[in-house]
């Protein structure tokens, strides 16, 4: 190949011999004490390339400054507090390798009602943060001629995020999502089969995102509200891909759900016989206790930071 040949020729170039007169000239100058000029009298001047770099850097700095100063639409963390029961928002996609796919939900197991939860974070040395109460209401309704479940979550979010109110509407027959509205930001999500339209009128935002293949699996964020429809058994072991963040294009991590046993759990709402559901994968460490009779969440715990724990318990059933 020419490049190899050329490189070899370049590397093999021998030094060029100086003419004999140069040695004599140097010697004579040394003997005569000739004044030597400065060797490198000037530093490299910024060349064209350097000037371009300066120009590009200046332009980038100006763009950043404009970006910082320009009035912007505030980012909308649509899903920031949606993980009050499930730590990650998720869209079901393909089955994680090596895990059985979550079996089809059983829509007939859903029931109307209201469940009130209290959440707190606690740690060593008496550290405790009360994360407030959350009320989950499931009500039957109609939407565009379809029989739907309207599931509303109300409560206080993480410290500083204020009151939350979400509603999720799913078809009763399939539990497929139809719409979602998040009140604090006025955000709405309308599901159109293979896409979702997100609008936040308050900020003038409108997105339409293609949805991954959902098939019969639910959005995992909705899974907490749809828990009664999940067919837990003693040997239940299923995988659900978890989309971290909100956008369907985001990174997907497998979430593994395994029934690790049965336990009697006592919470302010009473004592319940529960499946202990261990979450693995990205949300490893989370444990749910799910009432075997109603399928409702009774308690959840999530250890993090070594010795800190988030805990949610059922306060009341109405």
Partner 1 sequence: MADARPVPDRDLAQRARQGDRDALGELYRRHGTAAYSLAARLLGAGEAEDVVHDVFLALPSALASYRERGLFGAWLRRVVARAALTRVRSARRRNEMALEGVVIATEPSWADPDLELAIARLPDTLRTSLVLHAVEGFPHREVASMLGISIIAARVRYSRALNALRRDLRRHGT
Binding site for partner 1 (CB under 8 A): 2-3, 6-7, 9-19, 21-23, 25-27, 29-31, 34-47, 49-50, 53
Torsions phi, psi of 95, nearest 5? Answer: -75, 135
Choice between 1 and 66, CB closer to partner 1: 1
How far from the centroid of its chain's Cα atoms is residue 46's Cα? 45
Residue 64 C-beta: closest distance to partner 1, Å: 21
Residue 152 · residue 172 · CB < 8 Å: no
Choice between 50 and 202, CB closer to partner 1: 50
Choice between 16 and 69, CB closer to partner 1: 16
Choice between 48 and 318, CB closer to partner 1: 48
Choice between 35 and 72, CB closer to partner 1: 35
Choice between 21 and 144, CB closer to partner 1: 21
Torsions phi, psi of 127, nearest 5? Answer: -65, 130
136-144, Cβ contacts within 8 angstroms, sequence gap of 24 or more? 136/225, 137/113, 138/110, 138/111, 138/112, 138/113, 138/114, 138/225, 139/112, 140/112, 140/172, 141/169, 143/169, 143/178, 143/179
Choice between 46 and 268, CB closer to partner 1: 46
Sorted by sequence, the CB contacts under 8 Å of residue 279 that are 6+ apart come out as 87, 255, 256, 257, 285, 286, 287, 288
C-alpha distance from residue 11 to each of 7, 16, 154, 155 (Å): 6, 13, 75, 74
Sorted by sequence, the CB contacts under 8 Å of residue 123 that are 6+ apart come out as 305, 307, 308, 309
Q: 30: alpha, beta or left, given left = phi > 0 and alpha = psi -120 to 50?
A: alpha
Residue 107 · residue 135 · CB < 8 Å: no
Residue 54 C-beta: closest distance to partner 1, Å: 11
What is the dihedral angle through the alpha carbons of 222, 226, 232, 236, rounded to the nearest 10 degrees?
Answer: -10
3-state secondary structure of 136: strand
Choice between 41 and 71, CB closer to partner 1: 41
Residue 53 C-beta: closest distance to partner 1, Å: 6
Residue 14 C-beta: closest distance to partner 1, Å: 5
Residue 10 C-beta: closest distance to partner 1, Å: 4
Residue 5 C-beta: closest distance to partner 1, Å: 9
Residue 60 C-beta: closest distance to partner 1, Å: 15
């Amino acid at each position: 190949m020419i490049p190899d040949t050329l490189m070899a020729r370049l590397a093999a170039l021998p030094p060029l011999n100086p003419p004999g007169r140069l040695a004599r000239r140097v010697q004579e100058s040394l003997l005569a004490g000739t004044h030597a000029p400065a060797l490198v009298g000037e530093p490299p001047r910024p060349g064209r390339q350097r000037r371009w770099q300066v120009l590009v850097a200046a332009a980038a700095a100006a763009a950043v400054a404009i970006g910082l100063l320009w009035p912007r639409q505030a980012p909308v963390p649509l899903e920031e507090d949606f993980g009050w029961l499930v730590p990650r928002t998720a869209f079901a996609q393909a089955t994680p390798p090596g895990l059985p796919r979550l079996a089809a939900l059983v829509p007939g197991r859903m029931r109307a009602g209201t469940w009130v939860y209290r959440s707190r974070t606690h740690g060593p040395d008496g550290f405790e943060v009360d994360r407030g109460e959350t009320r989950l209401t499931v009500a039957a309704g109609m939407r565009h001629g379809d029989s739907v479940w309207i599931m509303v979550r109300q409560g206080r979010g993480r410290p500083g995020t204020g009151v939350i109110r979400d509603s999720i509407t799913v078809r009763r027959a399939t539990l497929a999502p139809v719409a979602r509205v998040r009140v604090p930001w006025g955000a709405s999500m309308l599901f159109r089969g293979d896409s979702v339209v997100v609008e936040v009128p308050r900020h003038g935002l409108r997105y339409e995102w293609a949805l991954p293949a959902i098939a019969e699996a639910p959005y995992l964020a909705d899974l907490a509200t749809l828990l009664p429809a999940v067919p837990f058994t003693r040997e239940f072991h299923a995988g659900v891909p978890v989309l971290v963040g909100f956008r369907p294009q985001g990174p997907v991590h497998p979430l593994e759900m395994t029934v690790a046993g049965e336990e009697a759990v006592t919470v302010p709402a009473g004592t319940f016989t529960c499946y202990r559901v261990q979450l693995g994968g990205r949300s490893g460490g989370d444990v749910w206790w799910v009432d075997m009779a109603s399928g409702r969440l009774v308690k959840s715990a999530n250890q993090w930071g070594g010795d800190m724990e988030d805990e949610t318990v059922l306060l009341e059933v109405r």
